[in-house]
Amino acid sequence: MTDHDATLPPAVCEPLPMLPEPSAGTARPEQGTLPGPAAAGRPLRVLAAMSGGVDSAVAAARAHEAGHEVTGVHLALSENPKSFRTGARGCCTLEDARDARRAADVIGIPFYVWDLAERFREDVIEDFFAEYEAGRTPNPCLRCNEKIKFAALLDRALALGFDAVCTGHYAVVVDGPEGRELHRSVDQGKDQSYVLGVLDADQLAHALFPLGTDTKDDVRAEAERRGLAVARKPDSHDICFIADGDTQAFLATRLGRTPGDIVDRDGTKLGEHEGAYAYTVGQRKGLRIGRPADDGKPRYVLDISPVSNTVTVGPAEALDVDGLTGIRPRWCGPAPTGVLDCTAQVRAHGDEHPAVAEIDGDTVRVRLHTPMRGVARGQAVVLYDGTRVIGSATIDGTSSAA
């Protein structure tokens, strides 16, 4: 059954009850359980976002088993969905929708498909094109979490009387001294707190992440025990709306061929490109430079200038930065002020770097204790206090450590 404009009986949407044990500041929260009806005073009305994968299926099953009134929903994000996935690439195919429906049937919950393809195109895909055209490197997963799963979906869920949205993200939400806190997952290899660093306090108040205290192997084993056919389904990876993984070709469909120069740091022309948007800071392969460096070492992309349509390359050490400037901050709780000690991360599964962050209104200046390599404008910097996510900002500039 497909439903775009479902109306459901109204319910009071209060903030979600907290997990029983508050966090200890910088320490990882103890393993907890999904809050049940006793903690809430009544069963929560939960909308479970079901992608068709194993994680979201187990998350929905746990919410249902905890005694909540769970409804599954699959988000149709592709305007022209294909019937089948290509291995582990892409998502939002007809196969994924069917897998989600079958999982909902096994769990025993109602299931709907909501068409958010137009919203996804406007807020995620169009933003992706615009950022690359401007010489920046966006993270569409963060944008999707911010604009689709915890804005469009959550807003609609609350309007229909649901109390919370449940997803299969690997992260932990607990009660802290100043409200709900977002923490890293126990499974460091699957931790998704980085891509959730755009969520604000109000969104966290209506979010359930039942998998944050488990490993991926545990989740797959549980799916097997529950009889879910997606138990061994491969995880999707790369950018979901670029099923073949060829980002350059995808960008070319919109941005076209715009030839320009590849230059070194003193402006000497070394080669040509067919579109500066196809490059990102730190890139080594595919530069098509005919002349080797004098020292024989490889060159890397250091800068992309959309104004002059040039790509600047140089040695690896020139990629080191010791400071970042972030704009448009998003705080996972009360907005911090002044100067704070923290760690900074700029990639979904990248390393944390000890840092000091200075908050000045809508500008975040991060000073790194050790240099970080290959940071591009447009990436997100996510700040942590131990395992707790403080918030995030979009990188607008860097300072060289050289």
From CA 274, how far away is CA 317, in angstroms rounded? 26
Q: What is the pLDDT of residues 206-247, one digit of tens each?
A: 999 999 999 999 999 999 999 999 999 988 766 888 877 888
From CA 98, how far away is CA 113, in angstroms rounded? 10
Cα dist from 286 to 36, 64, 135, 268, whole Å? 53, 49, 17, 19
State mean pLDDT over 310-318: 94
pLDDT of the residue at 43 = 87
What does the angle CA 222 – CA 228 – CA 231 come to, to the nearest 5 degrees? 65
Q: What is the pLDDT of residues 78-91, one digit of tens each?
A: 876 654 445 445 56
From CA 161, how far away is CA 7, in angstroms rounded? 9
Cβ–Cβ contacts within 10 Å for residue 27, how many?
A: 11
Q: What percent of the chain has pLDDT over 90?
A: 69
From CA 386, how far away is CA 184, in angstroms rounded? 9
**Taking a C-beta distance cutoff of 8 angstroms, is the pair 372, 321 a contact?**
yes
Q: What is the mean pLDDT of the chain?
A: 86
Q: What is the DSSP letter of 148?
A: I
Whether 33 has a pLDDT exceeding 60, the answer reads: no
Q: What is the dihedral of CA 6, 8, 13, 17, to 10 degrees?
A: -100
What does the angle CA 173 – CA 174 – CA 177 come to, to the nearest 5 degrees? 135
Q: What is the pLDDT of residues 268-277, one digit of tens each?
A: 999 999 999 9
Longest CA pairwise span in the chain (Å): 72
Q: Of 137 and 10, which is predicted with more confidence?
A: 137
**Taking a C-beta distance cutoff of 8 angstroms, is the pair 360, 322 a contact?**
no
Please state the pTM of the whole predicted model: 0.86
**Taking a C-beta distance cutoff of 8 angstroms, is the pair 248, 97 a contact?**
no
Q: What is the pLDDT of residues 318-332, one digit of tens each?
A: 999 999 999 999 999
pLDDT of the residue at 88 = 46
Q: Of 287 and 326, which is predicted with more confidence?
A: 326
What does the angle CA 71 – CA 75 – CA 79 come to, to the nearest 5 degrees? 155
Q: What is the DSSP letter of 111?
A: E
pLDDT of the residue at 13 = 32
Q: Quick one: pLDDT band at residue 40, thresholds 50, 70, 90? A: low
From CA 202, how far away is CA 181, in angstroms rounded? 11
In the residue annotation, 91 being an active-site residue is answered as: no
pLDDT of the residue at 286 = 85
Active-site option among 92, 141, 240, 342: 240
Q: What percent of the chain has pLDDT over 70?
A: 86
- Give residue 5's Cα distance to chain centre: 27
Q: Quick one: pLDDT band at residue 289, thresholds 50, 70, 90? A: confident
Residue 320 in 3-state DSSP? Answer: strand
Q: Of 266 and 93, which is predicted with more confidence?
A: 266
Amino acid occupying residue 197: G
Active-site option among 144, 166, 332, 342: 144
Given the DSSP bridges, would you call strands 164-166 and 171-176 parallel, antiparallel or unpaired? unpaired
The residue whose two tokens read 């530069």 is 287
